[in-house]
Amino acid sequence: MGLTLEEIRANCLRARGLMDRARAEKFSVGAFNLDNQETLIAVARAAKKMNAPVLVEVSQGEVDALGLANVRDMVDNYKRQFSIEMYINLDHSPSVEAAIAGIDAGYEFIHIDVSQANHNASEQDIINATKAVVEYASMTGALVESEPHYFGGSSNVHTEKINYEEIRKTFSTPEGAMNFVNSTGIDTFAAAIGNLHGSYPTPKVLDLELLKAIRGAISCNISLHGGSGTPGHYFKEAVKIGVQKININSDMRKAYRETLEKVLAENKTEYAVVKLMNTVIESVQAVVESKIELFNSAGKAKI
């Protein structure tokens, strides 16, 4: 059941209020990827238990598997069932058309990332696409997020080490961030300071001094992608510096798969797999709760 334009605009206004609160009260909102209904239930239960505002997000792969409208309906159903503050982010939308579809579906947060489809996209190409999405998003008030270049890694559990010499080449700069924000009018800047999509054998190292410089250069929200596998103290410091949104995916997927493999191995004669899923949900929920605690967003929900 779709939302009316009036309902979408009201949701987006509340989402903007959430980001304002995050800035004022020094917390960050966790943006947790959905692979399926079980991960959505895990996030919803964690949000309820911790009284925390949350974003749930889908990238193009999840959109293809679940459908934009279906995700909207499921999120609204669980939001009502649990009485929680929860919004949807369309993550790494690969084209203007895909981003517009998310806006039309009533998503409150839209990340336009044409560099995902074309890693060699020029900064001007990215600016032009981002400006088009910002302009269209004014219809609903959806918050638009972007960055001026390709952001590396993939949302998986990697076995290779992080090559920081290569990663540093794509770090954000204060000047670049300011120019991009001014050129596009985005609501949220996705900063690259050592964060990287996926989980790796060694912990990630974030350049907090660079983050401070970027925070001083721009007035819009800041997000960190690739939060999985990051030592918790970096999150705590990043929140203090002024990050409003942190994305988590691979840590959830790892907990989901490892727990599912365990319960399947322990229940070889049970073919109604749905009966085994609560243990899996609990495992993912524990990951979400641990991030909420690190992001200082526990107790910050406003229903």
Torsion of CA 20, 24, 27, 28, to 10 degrees: 30
Single out the residue of 244, 257, 174, 187 nearest to residue 220, CA to CA. Answer: 187
> What's the CA gap between 234 and 240, in Å, rounded?
10
What pTM did the predictor assign? 0.94
How many domains does one find in the chain?
1
- Tell me: the pLDDT tens digits for 175-201? 999 999 999 999 999 999 988 776 776
- Say how far residue 217 (Cα) sits from the centre of its chain: 23
Q: What is the mean pLDDT of residues 152-156?
A: 63
Count of positions (residues) in the chain: 303
239 found inside a domain: no
- Tell me: the pLDDT tens digits for 228-269? 889 999 999 999 999 999 999 999 999 999 999 999 999 999
Tokens of 136: 């269209």
> What's the CA gap between 201 and 301, in Å, rounded?
34
Q: How many CB atoms lie within 10 A of CB 26?
A: 14
111 found inside a domain: yes
> What's the CA gap between 14 and 106, in Å, rounded?
13
Residue 251 identity (one-letter amino acid): D
Residue range of the domain that includes 86: 5-159+249-294
R_g of the chain, CA atoms, integer Å: 18
**Which of residues 116 and 34 earns the better pLDDT score?**
34
Give, in order, the Cα–Cα distances in Å from 116 to each of 34, 61, 149, 199: 19, 12, 9, 19
Q: What is the mean pLDDT of residues 103-124?
A: 93
What confidence tier does 163 reach under pLDDT thresholds 50, 70, 90?
Answer: confident
236 found inside a domain: no
223 found inside a domain: no
263 found inside a domain: yes
> What's the CA gap between 187 and 16, in Å, rounded?
9
279 found inside a domain: yes
210 found inside a domain: no
pLDDT confidence of residue 152: 64
What pairing do the DSSP bridges indicate for beta strands 245-248 and 221-224? Answer: parallel
186 found inside a domain: no
> What's the CA gap between 47 and 240, in Å, rounded?
21
pLDDT at residue 156 is higher than 80 = no
Q: In this structure, what CATH number is given to the domain that contains residue 80?
A: 3.20.20.70
